[in-house]
Amino acid sequence: MKPGMKLAILLIGGLLVWGGIFFLACQREDPKERARAVAEKSLYSCVDCPESVNIKAVSKADSIFGRDYVTTEESMNIAMAMLKINEKVMQATDNMENFDFEDRSTSALMERQMSSLSALRSLVTVKDPNDKTQKPFNGWKVKIEYEAKNEDGTPYHSEYWFILDKEATCVVNSFEIPLL
């Protein structure tokens, strides 16, 4: 074999190897997009009637540092949404004086409200204002606003929050916020 032929084979082989490595490195899916896809897929397994789900909006994946899943602004927005839900329940039940146990939509709304408040309490952390240390990157947060139907066919409007791991491959925590 001629020395020039050996060199050509080595160059072509090296080019193929490095081209393959570069191609595989560029093909990696963006974790933010993977987080959104995993969250959407998880939503369908979290609701009573997945075939009735109508997704209205999917947020961009937001990074989480430490265990601070919910910012102060987000917790205030959730509290305001819960206040509106509470007002609606109080109106529908005449301040809980005339609670109709047969009214499944009000009962389901109250259940979803209590569940979201419980989840919010477990996720909100008390922050030390003097602590300025940077917390490590811990994962992703995706919010999905959707409409669906309960198991009895009653339509509802909610927002589901999904907390995902660093690689955005699995859901670590999730909770629902009922909306009006």
In a domain, 17, yes or no: no
In a domain, 173, yes or no: yes
Q: Per residue of the chain (180 residues), what is the pLDDT tens digit?
A: 677 777 777 778 777 777 777 766 665 678 899 999 999 999 999 998 999 999 999 999 999 988 788 888 888 888 888 888 888 888 888 887 877 777 777 888 888 888 888 887 877 777 677 777 888 888 999 999 999 998 888 899 999 999 999 999 999 999 999 988
Place of tokens 């265990």: 67
Where in the sequence is the domain holding 87, given as residue range(s)? 32-126+139-179
Residues in the chain: 180
In a domain, 26, yes or no: no
In a domain, 13, yes or no: no
Give the number of domains in the chain. 1
